[in-house]
Amino acid sequence: MTNKLAVYNGLIAPSSYVNATKEERAAVVNGCGTGGWKGALVPDSMWGLNVSGVCDIHDWMYEYGKTEEDKDFADMLFMRNLIRLINAKGGWLAWLRRYRATSYYNAVAEAGDEAFWRNKR
Protein backbone atom coordinates (compact mmCIF):
# COMPACT_ATOMS: atom_id res chain seq x y z
CA MET A 1 0.00 0.00 0.00
CA THR A 2 1.29 3.40 -0.82
CA ASN A 3 1.88 5.69 2.11
CA LYS A 4 1.24 8.86 0.09
CA LEU A 5 -1.14 10.83 2.23
CA ALA A 6 -3.43 13.77 1.69
CA VAL A 7 -5.92 15.75 3.75
CA TYR A 8 -9.55 14.93 3.06
CA ASN A 9 -12.34 16.69 4.97
CA GLY A 10 -9.83 17.58 7.68
CA LEU A 11 -8.60 13.99 8.05
CA ILE A 12 -5.42 12.32 6.87
CA ALA A 13 -6.08 9.70 4.20
CA PRO A 14 -4.22 7.74 1.55
CA SER A 15 -4.27 9.54 -1.78
CA SER A 16 -5.95 6.47 -3.29
CA TYR A 17 -8.91 7.10 -0.96
CA VAL A 18 -9.01 10.81 -1.73
CA ASN A 19 -8.94 10.14 -5.48
CA ALA A 20 -11.51 7.33 -5.42
CA THR A 21 -15.06 7.92 -6.61
CA LYS A 22 -17.97 7.71 -4.18
CA GLU A 23 -18.92 4.42 -5.79
CA GLU A 24 -15.41 2.98 -5.34
CA ARG A 25 -15.42 4.02 -1.69
CA ALA A 26 -18.93 2.65 -1.11
CA ALA A 27 -17.81 -0.77 -2.34
CA VAL A 28 -15.17 -0.91 0.42
CA VAL A 29 -16.18 1.18 3.44
CA ASN A 30 -19.04 0.79 5.90
CA GLY A 31 -18.42 3.18 8.78
CA CYS A 32 -17.38 1.91 12.20
CA GLY A 33 -17.34 -1.77 13.04
CA THR A 34 -17.42 -4.77 10.80
CA GLY A 35 -20.19 -5.37 8.32
CA GLY A 36 -23.30 -7.28 9.30
CA TRP A 37 -24.97 -7.42 12.71
CA LYS A 38 -21.66 -7.03 14.58
CA GLY A 39 -21.08 -3.70 12.89
CA ALA A 40 -24.42 -2.43 14.14
CA LEU A 41 -23.06 -2.77 17.68
CA VAL A 42 -20.30 -0.21 17.07
CA PRO A 43 -21.59 3.37 16.98
CA ASP A 44 -20.51 5.75 14.22
CA SER A 45 -20.51 8.58 16.74
CA MET A 46 -18.85 9.41 20.03
CA TRP A 47 -21.16 11.45 22.22
CA GLY A 48 -22.67 13.24 19.24
CA LEU A 49 -19.47 13.51 17.17
CA ASN A 50 -19.73 11.59 13.89
CA VAL A 51 -16.53 9.56 13.37
CA SER A 52 -17.69 7.45 10.42
CA GLY A 53 -15.28 9.26 8.07
CA VAL A 54 -12.35 8.14 10.23
CA CYS A 55 -13.67 4.58 10.19
CA ASP A 56 -14.14 4.71 6.41
CA ILE A 57 -10.50 5.69 5.88
CA HIS A 58 -9.46 2.85 8.18
CA ASP A 59 -11.64 0.39 6.21
CA TRP A 60 -9.99 1.53 3.00
CA MET A 61 -6.52 1.05 4.42
CA TYR A 62 -7.42 -2.45 5.68
CA GLU A 63 -8.78 -3.38 2.25
CA TYR A 64 -5.66 -2.33 0.36
CA GLY A 65 -2.98 -3.03 2.97
CA LYS A 66 -0.73 -5.98 2.31
CA THR A 67 1.64 -6.33 5.27
CA GLU A 68 1.63 -6.29 9.05
CA GLU A 69 3.28 -2.87 8.79
CA ASP A 70 0.35 -1.66 6.67
CA LYS A 71 -2.07 -2.83 9.37
CA ASP A 72 -0.07 -1.12 12.11
CA PHE A 73 0.08 2.09 10.05
CA ALA A 74 -3.68 1.96 9.39
CA ASP A 75 -4.37 1.52 13.11
CA MET A 76 -2.01 4.35 14.07
CA LEU A 77 -3.57 6.69 11.51
CA PHE A 78 -7.03 5.67 12.74
CA MET A 79 -6.15 6.86 16.25
CA ARG A 80 -4.47 9.99 14.95
CA ASN A 81 -7.54 10.90 12.88
CA LEU A 82 -9.87 10.27 15.81
CA ILE A 83 -7.83 12.60 18.02
CA ARG A 84 -7.57 15.15 15.20
CA LEU A 85 -11.36 15.17 14.81
CA ILE A 86 -11.99 15.31 18.55
CA ASN A 87 -9.53 18.18 19.03
CA ALA A 88 -11.09 20.12 16.14
CA LYS A 89 -14.54 19.82 17.76
CA GLY A 90 -13.27 20.58 21.27
CA GLY A 91 -15.76 21.19 24.03
CA TRP A 92 -16.28 19.64 27.41
CA LEU A 93 -16.99 16.18 25.92
CA ALA A 94 -13.50 15.97 24.40
CA TRP A 95 -12.06 13.96 27.28
CA LEU A 96 -14.88 11.39 27.04
CA ARG A 97 -14.42 11.17 23.29
CA ARG A 98 -10.65 10.66 23.72
CA TYR A 99 -11.36 7.84 26.14
CA ARG A 100 -13.76 6.24 23.63
CA ALA A 101 -11.20 6.76 20.84
CA THR A 102 -8.70 4.76 22.87
CA SER A 103 -11.25 1.94 23.15
CA TYR A 104 -11.83 1.98 19.39
CA TYR A 105 -8.07 1.97 18.73
CA ASN A 106 -7.48 -0.92 21.14
CA ALA A 107 -10.25 -2.90 19.44
CA VAL A 108 -8.74 -2.58 15.95
CA ALA A 109 -5.14 -2.98 17.11
CA GLU A 110 -5.86 -6.09 19.15
CA ALA A 111 -8.77 -7.70 17.32
CA GLY A 112 -8.51 -6.37 13.77
CA ASP A 113 -6.30 -9.11 12.34
CA GLU A 114 -9.20 -11.12 10.92
CA ALA A 115 -10.66 -8.07 9.17
CA PHE A 116 -7.27 -6.99 7.83
CA TRP A 117 -6.21 -10.40 6.51
CA ARG A 118 -9.62 -11.37 5.06
CA ASN A 119 -9.25 -12.40 1.40
CA LYS A 120 -5.47 -11.90 1.49
CA ARG A 121 -4.17 -15.32 2.44
CATH number where 102 lies: 1.20.90
Residue 66 pLDDT grade (very low, low, confident, very high; cuts 50, 70, 90): very high
Q: How far is CA 97 from CA 53, 87, 113, in A?
A: 15, 10, 24
* pLDDT at residue 30, as a whole number: 92
* pLDDT at residue 2, as a whole number: 53
**Is the per-residue pLDDT at 102 higher than 60?**
yes
> Which are the contacts of 22, defined by CB distance < 8 A and separation ≥ 6?
none
- The closest of 106, 61, 65, 105 to 82, measured between CA atoms, is 105
Q: Read off the pLDDT of each residue in 61-82 and give the average, rounded to a whole number.
A: 97
Domain membership of residue 78 as a residue range = 5-117
- What is the number of domains present in the chain? 1
Residue 120 pLDDT grade (very low, low, confident, very high; cuts 50, 70, 90): confident
Give percent of the chain with pLDDT exceeding 90: 86
